[in-house]
Amino acid sequence: MFLIVVGCGRVGSELAYRLFEAGHQVTVIDQVGRSFEHLHPEYRGRTVTGEVLAEDVLKRAGIEQAHGLAAVTNSDSVNGVVGYVARTIFKVPNVVVRTYDPKFRELHEAFGLQTVASTAWGARRMEELLYQVQGKGVLSAGNGEVEVYELQLGDAWSGRALADLLPADGCLPVALSRAGRASLPGRETRLLGGDVLHVSATLAGIESLRRRLSEGGP
């Protein structure tokens, strides 16, 4: 794929190199030429210096042929405008913008843009790790509002139905692994000690589930 990264700070330079290393054609745009010094020495993609909101700069970067664009400058407003222009004017199929200040997130989403709210996600993830006493997060969706967790069940749950374990809200089963084989469990599935359960849950949902696990029941 041909992908454009707008902004060559710490995030942009790391993203550009990862995309390049994965075999994609990559162009990085930044208005400050020395910003490209952040790029990995083995990066061999293109770089374009210029005002990232200027139409001629975007066209020079190849935006009319781009399959995707990530706007990761240090300005949330610039990221939003670049993302909106890429999606609505140049019809870039896949646009992602970085949101640093949480107050900009709703604005970016109102533009119909995919967002990565690094501050909100980081705070949510740290909160989750501080709370974590049972079950580890293995996949995060969105900005961490829903995650997939892996839990190993103790013998106290042998013979109990999955419905006895899961809270009514905020938690859904994804998979149950037993003796190395995975299946899609139903709420009436009987559990065994040593089962590995994967669930998708909100933070409130996983906390409720952890309380049940520690207390041995609802």
> Same fold for the domain at 2-118 and the one at 128-215?
no
Q: Fill in the amino acid letter for 79.
A: N
pTM of the model: 0.65
Pick the CATH number of 128-215 from 3.30.700.30, 3.20.20.80, 3.30.70.1450, 1.10.10.10: 3.30.70.1450
Specify the range with the lowest mean pLDDT, choosing from 43-57, 65-79, 137-151: 137-151
Q: Which CATH superfamily is domain 2-118 in?
A: NAD(P)-binding Rossmann-like Domain (3.40.50.720)
What separation in angstroms does the CA of 136 have from each of 129, 130, 199, 202, 215? 8, 11, 10, 13, 18
- Structural domain spans, the chain: 2-118, 128-215
Tokens of 170: 């905020």
More confident residue, 211 or 130: 211
One DSSP character per residue, 133-161 reads SS-EEEEEETTTTEEEEEEE--GGGTT-B
Tokens representing 216? Answer: 């041995």
- Position of tokens 């409130």? 204
